[in-house]
Chain A
Amino acid sequence: MKISALIFLLLLFAGFSYFMARQKITTAYRLHKNKHRILTLPKYFGYVAALSALLPALMVLLIMQVAETPYVNSEIESYISTTNIEASEDLGLYLNEIKSADTAEKISALSDDKQLVYQRYSEIQATSERTITVVVLSLSILMVIWGLKFINTDTPARKVFEKIIEGVLLLAASIAILTTVGIVFSVLFESTRFFGEVPVLSFMFGTEWSPQTAIRADQVGSSAAFGAVPLFVGTMLISFIALMVSVPLGLMSAIYLSEYASNKVRSLTKPVLEILAGIPTVVYGFFAALTVAPFIRDVGESLGLSVASESALAAGLVMGIMIIPFVSSLSDDVLSAVPQSLREGSLGLGATHSETIIKVLIPAALPGIVGGVLLAASRAIGETMIVVMAAGLAANLTVNPLEAVTTVTVQIVTLLTGDQEFDSAKTLAAFALGLMLFVTTLILNVIALHVVRKYREQYE
């Protein structure tokens, strides 16, 4: 039975169970002797009955559904190994071809061997589907019967119901942990496979990056090299340029808006900065690649400099502009948290406004500002689309902002888009880079959040 139909049936059972339980309790209440001792509305009994019909069955359905694909795959594998059918090297691709045959035409287009496998596959598929249907539906029916039998006016229905809901809420909150665990495991798992092929040290400290593996063994010049140092340097170069643009501009904007600007100017300017923050990165990338980069190249050429058409400067500049609102809103928060008394004390002693800001406010707010800069740095390091569109692909080990460099994120995207088998060192390298990226940004975030929190507490 199709999953949608199955779920629909379960909902039907739940609805039925709800009405029956409510009916039972309403009738019981009518005959109740001590009417003033009734504490729970009949609908709560209905809810409990409905949930007992629904939740266990849904959970079993979910587990079986997740387990189905691996089970079917392993069954077909064992079938193939018992017969003398020769499957191709990549079993996943082989199985995919068979599974995607859903029309009569496609089935007849399969080779004889594959038709045999296909038959076996449809049998297994049908059996597992039947098993799931029977198990889930019978569980649900059992729960309906059990619920209707045992629910009576003494059941603490509301408390049970609220406990269940609280559990569901807790589950929803725990998804954040699940996501983190998922991220860590997925990048870690593939990375360990990568580090099985390429030593960690040569990845971390190698200076040559050319992930193209040789297709033939005797091919010249395509021995894969996975030294990630050029990528790290490129990432840092572009992030550094971005920070050089965004930190002074963002900080000064925040100072002007919070300390100097009139209310009217502030209410007009803040939305503009917010628009800057809301523009998708792909738009910035397009602008960087098609407008800023050629402009910088032309300017450079007129000054007699040779500028690459995908210079790090262009990507860094545009990224810097993108981060301005981020830096500015963080610094704004931090500056407004400095107690008014510090400001007034300094002004009262005769300092000018700018002296107050430079000598009192900024030193007082420094930890918060540093935290904000760290967060901005982690944004810049993880930014993808601008560099994918405006930075280069070739891994040059250079710190010259006029040359093309590549970054970690660019390499992840180029390694994983396009057709290649999943198990090659090339694709696994992307996960190793992802791990580096995740760890770096995680460390930056943890430090930044810690610094900002410490700073806030100082003035509370």
Chain B
Amino acid sequence: MNNTDLVKNGLKKRYLKERMFKLMGLFSIATAILFLFILLTDIISKALPAFYQTQIVLEVNIDAERLNLNTNSDEADMMNADFRLVIRDALLATFPEVTKRADKRALYSLTSMGAEFQLRDLVMSDPNLLGSTQTISFIADDDVDAVVKGSIDRHLPEKDRRINNQKLFWIDKLASQDQIQTTFNWNFFSNGDSREPEMAGIRGAILGSFYTLLVTLALSFPIAVAAAIYLEEFAPKNKFIDFIEININNLAAVPSIVFGLLGLAVFINFFSLPRSAPVVGGVVLSLMTLPTIIIASRSAIKAVPPSLREAALGLGASKMQAVFHHVLPASMPGILTGTIIGMAQALGETAPLLMIGMVAFIVDIPQSVTDPSTVLPIQVFLWADSPERGFLEKTSAAIMVLLFFLIAMNAIAIYLRKKFEKKW
């Protein structure tokens, strides 16, 4: 047998190997894409119910006497009035057969704890409602919500279910009387955090993220651009500059939690800055995103052709003028793209903020960068830890909002790059 035959005999096996190898590559990519697909569908399917909210429509007699109010009552009186009473009356009126104390208590828990505040705000905005009878949709308790959305299995034996037969009967009766309705859940976008799943919203977390990113941007953008300009245009070749470059490269790969330790030790304990404040979170995140933006800005500056600099220098501009008047504007699109990507990274970052106490349970919506607040990813973390079932869908919904912001930021970055990218 000569060599040609030897090669020919082996060909079939070699081609098979070739195909197998190619298939393996395809399989790897398919796995990654499949995983992404499962992740997204899992989260979206869990999240969708959170955007709808069950409400119980009740005819409420807003009896001024029962509330201890009259037409002259001021705001403080309103705040002190117990609006639960009239809501309870309305529930009892719907189910007159309920008389036992325990049953009554169960009946009252059909509406959310937030229902009384809902009614109070309504009356405070229009005091003329006092004494009238109104048809109002109240937020339902999270268990009722779960039953209506079908996430509690009614066919389970009663003891395995979160909600008993009695309540199920009431809910069915309400539903048959058209007293249950589902609406879009605006509360999710307008409320702060809450212990009650049906009342919890992400406004506080979104604003917290916004303030934190504001601080991050205000600090990291100028510093990173300045550093990039220096390293690309002015830095002499010496040991010190090498040391700076090594540091930047290493910082880019330091685990984010270590930045949290830095923030805790330096800003919270040494400088005694307030815990849980977006200003501290912003500083920590800007230290973390600095390397990313510096590296992106440097490559944007490097991409500006030397002819531009030389032309400026040739016309008598100083080095500084050439850089600030010509090189910097020309590299701005690249720098902005890098900055947005850095900001998106900062928006999704959780671990360092846990360290500086942004993990506290905060109901109030932050008004400034020094108010205690939390951020979107930490809200996700907090809700994911909650045992109540209602928080599961809220967690997924918060993730969707977070992903929406991330995608929007990245889309802007891509748009900027496409629109202003120049091929020199």
Contact = CB atoms under 8 A, between A and B. Distances in A.
Interface stretch (A141-149, A302-310, A429-437): A429-437
B170 to A, nearest CB: 31
8 tightest A-B CB contacts, nearest first: A382-B255, A256-B25, A280-B348, A186-B265, A172-B226, A354-B21, A169-B230, A252-B28
Interface string A231-268: 00000000000000000111111011100100000000
A279 B39 contact: yes
B266 interface: yes
Contacts of B410: 278
A438 interface: yes
B248 to A, nearest CB: 5
Interface in B130-160: none
A276 B21 CA distance: 24
Contacts of B396: 286
Interface in B98-140: none
Contacts of A375: 253
Interface stretch (B51-59, B306-314, B376-384): B376-384
The binding surface of chain A is classed by DSSP as helix
Contacts of B348: 278-283
Contacts of A182: 262, 266
Interface string B17-30: 11011101111110
What interface size band does chain B fall in?
35 or more
A371 B271 CA distance: 39
A225 interface: no
A324 B250 CA distance: 21
A384 B381 CA distance: 12
A405 interface: no
B389 to A, nearest CB: 12
A438 B29 contact: no
The binding surface of chain B is classed by DSSP as helix
B266 A382 contact: no
A446 interface: yes
A201 to B, nearest CB: 23
Interface of B: 7, 14-15, 17-18, 20-22, 24-29, 31-33, 35-36, 39, 42-43, 222-224, 226-227, 229-231, 234-235, 243-244, 247-251, 253-259, 261-262, 264-266, 269, 271-272, 287, 290-291, 294, 318-320, 344, 347-351, 354-355, 357, 359, 377-378, 380-381, 384, 392, 395-396, 399, 402-403, 406, 410
Contacts of A269: 29, 33
A458 interface: no
A420 B71 CA distance: 51
Given A177-B244, A179-B262, A354-B18, 13 more contacts: A96-B272, A170-B230, A171-B226, A173-B231, A177-B247, A186-B265, A257-B29, A275-B36, A278-B406, A280-B347, A385-B381, A389-B381, A441-B255
Given A412-B257, A438-B254, A286 B226 contact: no
A449 B26 CA distance: 30
Interface in A404-421: 409, 412-413, 416-417
Contacts of A280: 347-350, 377, 402, 406
Contact of B253 (A170, A172, A174, A378): A378
A162 B25 contact: no
A187 B261 contact: yes
Nearest to A378: B253
Residue among A183, A250, A272 having the largest count of chain B Cβ atoms under 10 Å: A183
Interface of A: 66, 69, 96, 158, 162, 165-166, 168-177, 179-180, 182-183, 186-187, 189-190, 248-253, 255-257, 260, 269, 272-273, 275-276, 278-287, 289-291, 321, 324-325, 350, 352-355, 357-358, 375, 378-379, 381-385, 388-389, 409, 412-413, 416-417, 422, 430-431, 434, 437-438, 441-442, 445-446, 449
A409 B255 contact: yes
13 contacts: A66-B271, A166-B320, A273-B32, A278-B344, A287-B43, A354-B21, A354-B22, A375-B253, A378-B253, A381-B255, A384-B257, A417-B359, A445-B254
A282 B265 contact: no
Contact of A252 (B24, B318, B406): B24
Contacts of A169: 226-227, 229-230, 234
A364 B357 CA distance: 48
B258 A357 contact: no
Residue among B42, B359, B384 having the largest count of chain A Cβ atoms under 10 Å: B384
Contact of A186 (B262, B290, B402): B262
Contacts of B357: 417
Contacts of B351: 281, 384-385, 388, 409, 413
A47 to B, nearest CB: 11
Given A282-B380, A290-B384, A353 B18 contact: yes
B348 to A, nearest CB: 3
Residue among A385, A389, A422 having the largest count of chain B Cβ atoms under 10 Å: A385
B345 to A, nearest CB: 8
Given A384-B256, A442-B250, A260 B377 contact: no
Contacts of A441: 253-255, 258
A384 B350 contact: yes
A95 B290 CA distance: 35
B266 A186 contact: yes
Contacts of B381: 282, 285, 385, 388-389
Nearest to A256: B25
Nearest to A418: B359
A279 B403 contact: yes
